[in-house]
Amino acid sequence: MDTELTQLLAAIGPRLRAARVTRGLTLEVVAGQTGLSASAISRLETGHRRPTLDALIPLARAYQVPLDRLVAAPAIGDPRINLVPHAVASGGVVVPLTQYPGRVQVFKHVLGPREPKLITHAGHAWLYVLAGTLRLLLGEEEHLLSPGETAQFASTTPHWFGPAGQGTVELLHLFGPRGDRPVARLDHPAPG
């Protein structure tokens, strides 16, 4: 098998896992939707089973994505940036959208249910909710944000964010490691 094909096949497993985790689905739920066993799906995700069309087609249907998205990464965004989803230990997936060390960083988060654990660190955070309901803890305060709503705070404030309830929440997260923060220069009203 040539190197390019080997690399292509090796990349399918992480895409399958990211698609499942992004949707907040367990192996058992996907198994029930596809007719594949949970262990077979796990082996596909970890690369211990070679992907076949018999397995990929039902998975693409379950995740509601085109088959070619599972087989080859879509050409989106700046081709100089490798948009690679990362599973986070606390639950969910993070996709770094920028790679500017020491400058404002932008991430897309898809977070599943997890236990709140307040943290602090240097910097400033700005959150924009894309889908779901965000639960944001800032010290003793609790805030619920809906799609289209934003929050910003000094990350030296004890904080935690995740989904409200048992669903998932999808958000954009801007983080200024040196306290950089977004500044609104224009808030133009819609014509009306």
For residue 6, what pLDDT is reported?
Answer: 80
CB 110 within 8 A of CB 92: yes
Confidence tier at 82 by pLDDT (50, 70, 90):
low
The pLDDT of residue 74 is above 50: no
> Phi-psi region for residue 172, left (φ > 0), alpha (ψ -120 to 50) or beta?
beta
CB 120 within 8 A of CB 159: yes
Third-level CATH fold of 86-176: Jelly Rolls (2.60.120)
For residue 149, what pLDDT is reported?
Answer: 94
- Domain extents in the chain: 3-71, 86-176
| Terminal-residue alpha carbon distance, the chain | 62
Q: For residues 192 and 61, which has the higher predicted lDDT (pLDDT)?
A: 61
pLDDT (tens digit, 9 = 90+) per residue, 174-191?
A: 988 876 766 766 766 777
Least confident residue range of 27-31, 84-88, 130-134, 157-161: 84-88
The mean pLDDT of 67-96, rounded to a whole number, is 68
CATH superfamily of 3-71: lambda repressor-like DNA-binding domains (1.10.260.40)
Residues in the chain, overall count: 192
Question: Cβ–Cβ contacts within 10 Å for residue 138, how many?
Answer: 16
